[in-house]
A and B are shown apart, each in its own frame.
Chain A
Amino acid sequence: MSVLFELDRKTILARLGGDEEILEIMIDAFLSDYENNCQQLLAAWSVRDAGLIAREAHTLKGLLATLSDESGAEQAYLLEQKARQGAIADQDAMVDALVQRVRTVAGVLSAR
């Protein structure tokens, strides 16, 4: 069960050496690109391409981890692992949940 996303500025800033400017640059980059990432995952899912799903899930895992969203990164990790094992049947819910998670994160970031 995923936990609600809250922007943990303290943790992220600790990783960025306290640099607020870089944090803002990073958030702006996420907001300008997240929908594109979601669409790529959905496109991979629509053709049931396990390799592509794994790659897109891996990318989202990295993005969410960068924003210290451990719960979202875990969701992406699980999907990535399933896809690597070729176990992609009946993963609609996982894909939808991950896309939803990314959009939620984007919503929180937009409202900061």
Chain B
Amino acid sequence: MHTVLIVDDSDINLTLIKALVLKLGNCNPVLFDHPLKAVEWCQTHIPDLVIVDYMMPDMDGLEFIRTFRALDGRAEIPVLMVTANDQKDVRYEALSGGANDFLNKPIDRVEFTARVRNMLDLRTGQKFLADRAQHLASLVAEQTQEICDREKELIFRISRAAEFRDPETGAHIQRMAHYSRLIARALGLDESTQKLILEAAPMHDVGKIAIPDYILLKPGRLTPEEFEIMKRHAQLGYDLLAGSHSEIMKAGAMIAQSHHEKFDGSGYPAGIQGEDIPLFGRIVAVADVFDALTSERPYKKAWSLEDARKFLEEGAGKHFDPRCVAALFEEWPEVLEIRQRFADQHDTMPVC
């Protein structure tokens, strides 16, 4: 059903145009005998076609069209102006002011029907294109979301693949990722960066896939030679993830490579120190160690929160970036909430 707005101060013209519009079928005429009232209606309604007289009190048809066109979302609505044939100057001004076509006075039904139908067809085409554009936009958004979800799931599963060969659990991935996000937030990083570290942190140990089982699963202390091989997981993780176009993969590569670096330069693989270590690496180092300490493993009991805090405090400036340690403590109530939410039995859900 097309809404046709008719604005004319003459009742006979309103009545005539309304009757002709109704004869077209599938049209709902809305009549105004005063242009200012019509403008008011247009603030909250969008017609499919406007038929407006030229000469009216308070606001002529030209001014009405200009006012109408200035309203948000009304720039494309077809407008027909009713004028006499002898008003050429008015017609030119109306065209430059936004009228699409004219209706001659006195109104001729054949001409009226053809012009109004053309304008309504134009409007139908506009709506079709707008709906199609909206439909395509929502399809793109849906597909993009699906790709993002798939990427996140893939990352989680890659991370789990590494963890399966490790005494650590899926819940560890969840907790350390969320601790990392908490630290990022406390450091004042923006929302998208917080989200990025949340999604990328689970890949920190992905390089362990390439570490032999006899080392990875060894219950006792590693020999210096074995530890050297174990240390390679940081670079291996980087090599596995680097070169991707995905921001998450790029961040994951950086984290995998740098999360065992230490603030005083005594870490590995590069032995870099301070702020030469990427921020994501410094953040994940704190989150990973804190969760490892406070979790139970086959070869060790879980440390108390107090002891873990003490360990981090003592390591601040040596092993850890002091700002990252302070940031974790700043978010302590949420740290406790995350520990509870991702207790070791819940290890099957993706991070986000």
Known contacts A58-B55, A59-B55; A29 and B16 CB within 8 A of each other: yes
A7 to chain B, nearest CB (A): 14
Q: Does B110 contact A (CB under 8 A)?
A: yes
Q: Select from chain A the residue with minimum beta-carbon distance to B15.
A: A29
Pair A19/B10 contact, Cβ less than 8 Å: no
Residues in B whose Cβ lies below 8 Å from that of A21: 19
Residues in A whose Cβ lies below 8 Å from that of B106: 15, 62, 65-66, 68
B213 to chain A, nearest CB (A): 91
> A19 is contacted by which of B11, B23, B84, B105 (Cβ under 8 Å)?
B23
Residues in B whose Cβ lies below 8 Å from that of A66: 12-13, 16, 105-107
Residues in B whose Cβ lies below 8 Å from that of A61: 84
Residues in B whose Cβ lies below 8 Å from that of A58: 55
User: B1-30 interface mask toward A, CB cutoff 8 Å, 1 = contact, 0 = none?
Assistant: 000000001111111100110010000000
Pair B13/A25 contact, Cβ less than 8 Å: no
Known contacts A22-B23, A26-B19; A63 and B10 CB within 8 A of each other: yes
Interface residues of B in 251-267 (CB under 8 A from A): none
Pair A62/B84 contact, Cβ less than 8 Å: yes
Q: Select from chain A the residue with minimum beta-carbon distance to B55.
A: A58
Known contacts A19-B23, A58-B55; A29 and B12 CB within 8 A of each other: yes
Pair B105/A65 contact, Cβ less than 8 Å: yes
> A33 is contacted by which of B10, B105, B109 (Cβ under 8 Å)?
B10
Q: Does A94 contact B (CB under 8 A)?
A: no
Residues in A whose Cβ lies below 8 Å from that of B20: 22
Pair A15/B55 contact, Cβ less than 8 Å: no
Interface residues of A in 11-40 (CB under 8 A from B): 15-17, 19, 21-22, 25-26, 28-30, 32-33, 36-37
Enumerate 21 A-B pairs (CB-CB under 8 Å) in ascending A order: A16-B109, A19-B109, A21-B19, A22-B16, A22-B20, A22-B23, A25-B15, A26-B12, A29-B14, A32-B11, A33-B10, A55-B57, A59-B9, A59-B10, A62-B10, A62-B106, A63-B12, A66-B12, A66-B13, A66-B106, A66-B107
The interface of chain B, by Cβ under 8 A from chain A, is 9-16, 19-20, 23, 55, 57, 84, 105-110, 113
The 9 closest A-B pairs by CB, nearest first: A29-B15, A17-B109, A29-B12, A33-B11, A66-B106, A65-B106, A15-B108, A22-B19, A16-B109
